[in-house]
Amino acid sequence: MVSFPSSYQMGPVHVAPATVLAPMAGVTDTVFRRLIRQQGGCGLLMTEFTSSHGVVATERHPGRRKSKSFHYLYFEPDEHPISAQLFGSDPEVMAEAARICEDQGFDAVDINFGCPVKKVVRCNGGSGLLRDLPLVDALLKKCREAIKIPLTMKFRAGWSDEELVHVRMAKLAEDNGLAAIALHPRTREQGYAGRADWQRIAEVKAAVKIPVIGNGDVIAPEDAVRMVEQTGCDAVMIGRAASSNPWIFRQIGEYLERGSYYQPTERDRYEMMRRYYRMLADKGGLDVVGKMKQFATYFTHGVRNGAKLRVLIYQTREIEQILKHVERHFEAELEAA
């Protein structure tokens, strides 16, 4: 039996299994989160990262209910436990946004100190705040005072290898009463390139007593187990790998139980893609066709002749026509197999 935590405690919220779907802009909307939940094995879901200013503006002006911020924070009852992730740099605005999330029924609020995207960093959000720890402290204090549900944060190791602040950030979180923290151990300068240095997760785990969630370079169940063994982290967060392999959380459970895990068949990929597209179509909302095209890139990964299907989807503008392309492609491939 491999050593892996079965659960962790985020304040009063019990998270089991000890796995988390990472917040990913443009990916982890309600439809994708529900798809992940249906596959099983994921303990905690997180929203796309959402502007605290956008959340507050939407609340103050109900006519903006169709805004992106409202869309990002929409969730269904079967998504619990779920955490809302916010970004921003104004403590008062962040605290008000956190209160709004609590009122909407989220189980926790998470603050993003990790996003490396330039337009976010330029506004002193995301990983831009890693160069201003007094402001991080003020943000955490205000938000912790504003809500009763657990407050957590996700952060990077620092701005660069010469400006590492991961241990100091972790201690700030613990001192301000945060319920858990998640570290992606790359720096802002690295972006998503290079290697995620898991030793930094181990350093954070050794520095604080609150739950530490490890994130970065977990592509397969074996990686999740190695991360826990090498760092002692309390849970594992998975992002990009889940986009093309929504089964990964279930596979981790299978690997822990029997040392092997189910590999999806061509029919499994067909059923999953068809289900996700139908859920998207039924939900409606912002640019369904655009979302179908985006996810064609993820979901055709490993599919026989997947490039042909991607081209067909990219060239199509109608929802029902895309659904037909998916059906015809897989029917032909399954028949030829």
Token representation of residue 150? 């657990």
Give me the pLDDT at residue 212, please: 98
240-256 as b/e: b if 16+ CB within 10 A: bbbbbbbbbbbbbbbbb
Question: Token pair 């952060």 is at which residue?
Answer: 155
Give the type of residue at 337: A
Tally of structural domains, the chain: 2
**Among the options 115, 123, 143, 233, which is catalytic?**
115
Query: pLDDT digits over 304-318, tens only?
Result: 889 999 999 999 999
Confidence of residue 119 (pLDDT cuts 50, 70, 90): low
Who wins on pLDDT, 155 or 118?
155
Give me the pLDDT at residue 10, please: 97
* Cβ neighbours of residue 232 closer than 8 Å, sequence gap 6 or more: 202, 205, 206
Give me the pLDDT at residue 118, please: 64
Mean pLDDT of 244-268: 94
Query: pLDDT digits over 20-53, tens only?
Result: 999 998 899 999 999 999 999 999 999 999 999 8
Per DSSP, what are the bridge partners of residue 303? none
Domain that holds residue 324: 266-336
Is the pLDDT at 125 greater than 80? The verdict is no
**Are residues 149 and 275 part of one domain?**
no
Judge whether 12 lies within some domain: yes
Give me the pLDDT at residue 93, please: 96
Can you tell me the distance from the alpha carbon of 227 to that of 255, in angstroms, rounded to the nearest whole number? 14
Give me the pLDDT at residue 112, please: 92
Last residue of a domain, one of 258, 289, 313: 258
Query: pLDDT digits over 137-170, tens only?
Result: 999 999 999 999 999 999 999 998 999 999 999 9
Give me the pLDDT at residue 319, please: 93
Judge whether 120 lies within some domain: yes
**Are residues 282 and 240 part of one domain?**
no
Can you tell me the distance from the alpha carbon of 280 to that of 65, in angstroms, rounded to the nearest whole number? 19
Give me the pLDDT at residue 62, please: 60
Confidence of residue 116 (pLDDT cuts 50, 70, 90): low
Give me the pLDDT at residue 126, please: 74
Can you tell me the distance from the alpha carbon of 126 to that of 188, in angstroms, rounded to the nearest whole number? 9
Last residue of a domain, one of 224, 258, 292: 258
Give me the pLDDT at residue 333, please: 83
Q: What percent of the chain has pLDDT over 70?
A: 93
Judge whether 271 lies within some domain: yes
Query: pLDDT digits over 272-314, tens only?
Result: 999 999 999 998 776 899 999 999 989 988 888 899 999 999 9
Give me the pLDDT at residue 287, please: 84
The pTM score is: 0.93
DSSP structure class, residue 47: P
Judge whether 212 lies within some domain: yes
Is 115 one of the annotated active-site residues of the chain?
yes
Judge whether 276 lies within some domain: yes
**Are residues 63 and 32 part of one domain?**
yes
Last residue of a domain, one of 229, 258, 287: 258
Per DSSP, what are the bridge partners of residue 18? none
Give me the pLDDT at residue 61, please: 66
**Are residues 83 and 147 part of one domain?**
yes
**Are residues 83 and 196 part of one domain?**
yes
Q: How many degrees, rounded to 5, is the angle at CA 241 between CA 88 and CA 274?
A: 105
Distance (Å) of CA 232 to CA 110, 200, 207, 255, 279:
22, 11, 12, 18, 38
Q: How many CB atoms lie within 10 A of CB 266?
A: 14
**Are residues 276 and 180 part of one domain?**
no
Confidence of residue 58 (pLDDT cuts 50, 70, 90): confident
Q: Which candidate, 23, 30, 8, places its Cα nearest to that of 285?
A: 30
Query: pLDDT digits over 158-217, tens only?
Result: 998 999 999 999 999 999 999 999 999 999 888 888 899 999 999 999 999 999 999 999
Who wins on pLDDT, 69 or 6?
6
The continuous run of DSSP H or E covering 235 comes out as strand 235-238
Is the pLDDT at 122 greater than 70? The verdict is no
Give me the pLDDT at residue 283, please: 85
